[in-house]
Amino acid sequence: MQHEAHTHHDRTGHEGHAGHENHAEHQGHHEHHGHHQADGKVSWAMAAKATLHCLTGCAIGEILGMVIGTALGWGNMQTMILAIILAFFFGYALTLRGILSAGVDFKTAFKVALAADTLSIAVMEIIDNGIIALWPGAMDAHLDEPFFWIVLAIALAAAFVITTPVNKWMIGRGKGHAVVHQYHH
């Protein structure tokens, strides 16, 4: 059963509840949300939004890493390592931005971001880099070739599809983005 009450995570992922003007409504939503985290019944929509949040950071980092590695004339392995490092960096950075805007100190926010995103980003990186590495010709494609972008899009889409159930499972157990969510109330 999907619960559309979780749509407050749309655009920025973790900006808080500026739209809630009625405290009782906000409190009721918080209790409802907490109930579903505790008993493991998390909507697919909520899991997909958490995954999309991670995917955004991963995609930014991977594309930037590939552009930098290519511009510097690096080989495939060095470029892929840079892209993975930047994917983790931007994935964590997006989560940190939301937690810090809730007034949490950096040390706590950093620990929350690590706990919330590490497994999600790791699964995503294994899937999308694995697809790129195993797809014939993908590692040799250049950034100015449509083939490169098509394979990257397919790899990121596969990473999203495979990581969403992982995030659903984690949120249902009070982990992953469930940890982030508690700092917005």
Predicted TM-score (pTM) of the model is 0.74
pLDDT of amino acid 158: 97
Alpha helices, H only, 72-142: 76-101, 106-134
Q: In angstroms, rounded to a whole number, what is the distance separating the alpha carbons of residues 77 and 139?
A: 9
Please state, for a pLDDT cut of 90, what percent of the chain lies above it.
55
Q: Please state the domain extents for the chain.
A: 59-185
pLDDT of amino acid 177: 64
pLDDT of amino acid 173: 83
Q: In angstroms, rounded to a whole number, what is the distance separating the alpha carbons of residues 84 and 129?
A: 8
Burial class (CB in 10 A: 0-12, 13-18, 19+), 2: exposed
Q: Which residues contact 12 (CB under 8 A, 6 or more apart)?
A: 98
pLDDT of amino acid 6: 36
pLDDT of amino acid 60: 97
* Residues in the chain, pLDDT under 50: 1-39, 185
pLDDT of amino acid 179: 63
